[in-house]
Amino acid sequence: MRFGPCTTQTALATAKLLPDMPLVLLALCASSTVELDPDTWKTEVVDSGKAAFVKFFAPWCGHCKKLKPDWDKLADEFAGSSKVLIADVDCTGAGKPLCEKYGVRGYPTIKSFSPPDEEGDDYKGGRDLAALKAYASDLGPGCAVDAMENCSEEQKKALATYIAMDPDERANKLATLSKSLKDAEEAHEALLKSLQASYKESMENLEKLKAGAAPEIKLLKAATPSAKVETPAKDEV
């Protein structure tokens, strides 16, 4: 769902003209952020020819709420850009399958996508408007054999080796590397679940031990006389 091109300034002006308009409508109007789901991902990201700067979030997340004002300002600044799309994915709503696909485990997770790359890169920079804007300003359509105009000389040299590969060899290498990565991710998830299960079992055992031992510990302490402090003898005059 796209709430632009209405900007924050437009929303404030509208609020003065139409004071009775529900605040929630004005809040929606104030953001130019595109909210993505699996149905809109292909048209808005994969086939758009733009780079996408995407925030994966959960509405209840405190860090997400803190980031939202600057993220919405960023969306306003890039509204109508022919190079960069600023977007949201709600991991608790229609965007949940996208969050699962891209391995989102914490909120907010921010990734950038430069077509034709669909894997995405994790954004690890600052969360203030200046840092977000600086990063987004450098984004654009990615380097590819079908879009060599987007490639630097260094990228062209790196790409040449793979362009020269036999197509079957290139496809097999891509499949092998992709499978290795997927297997590693699945192994990591399995380990995480195992550790969580072990932690839960250990915590339950600890709580049972505390519950069983606490009464006896109290009785033992209560039955143990306190150490008497001897008062120093006074010197006789």
The one-digit pLDDT tens for each residue of the chain (237 residues) are 444 334 444 444 444 444 554 544 444 445 678 899 999 999 999 888 889 999 999 999 999 999 999 999 999 999 988 899 999 999 999 999 999 999 898 999 999 998 777 888 999 999 999 999 999 998 987 788 887 888 889 989 999 999 999 999 999 998 999 889 889 988 988 998 999 999 999 999 999 998 999 889 888 888 888 877 776 666 665
Structure tokens at 188: 């990591």
The b-or-e profile of 174-210 (16+ CB within 10 A means b, else e) is eeeeeeeeeeeeeeeeeeeeeeeeeeeeeeeeeeeee
Task: Kindly report the three-state secondary structure assignment for every residue of the chain.
Answer: CECCCCCHHHHHHHHHHCCCCCHHHHHHHCCCCEECCHHHHHHHHHCCCCEEEEEEECCCCHHHHHHHHHHHHHHHHHCCCCCEEEEEEECCCCCHHHHHHCCCCCCCEEEEECCCCCCCEECCCCCCHHHHHHHHHCCCCCCECCEHHHCCHHHHHHHHHHHCCCHHHHHHHHHHHHHHHHHHHHHHHHHHHHHHHHHHHHHHHHHHHHHHHHHHHHHHHHHCCCCCCCCCCCCCC
Beta bridge partners of 84: 51
Give pLDDT, residue 62.
Answer: 96
Q: What's the predicted TM-score (pTM) here?
A: 0.62
Give pLDDT, residue 234.
Answer: 67
Give pLDDT, residue 118.
Answer: 80
- Superfamily name with CATH number, domain 31-142: Glutaredoxin (3.40.30.10)
Residue 126 corresponds to which amino acid? Answer: G
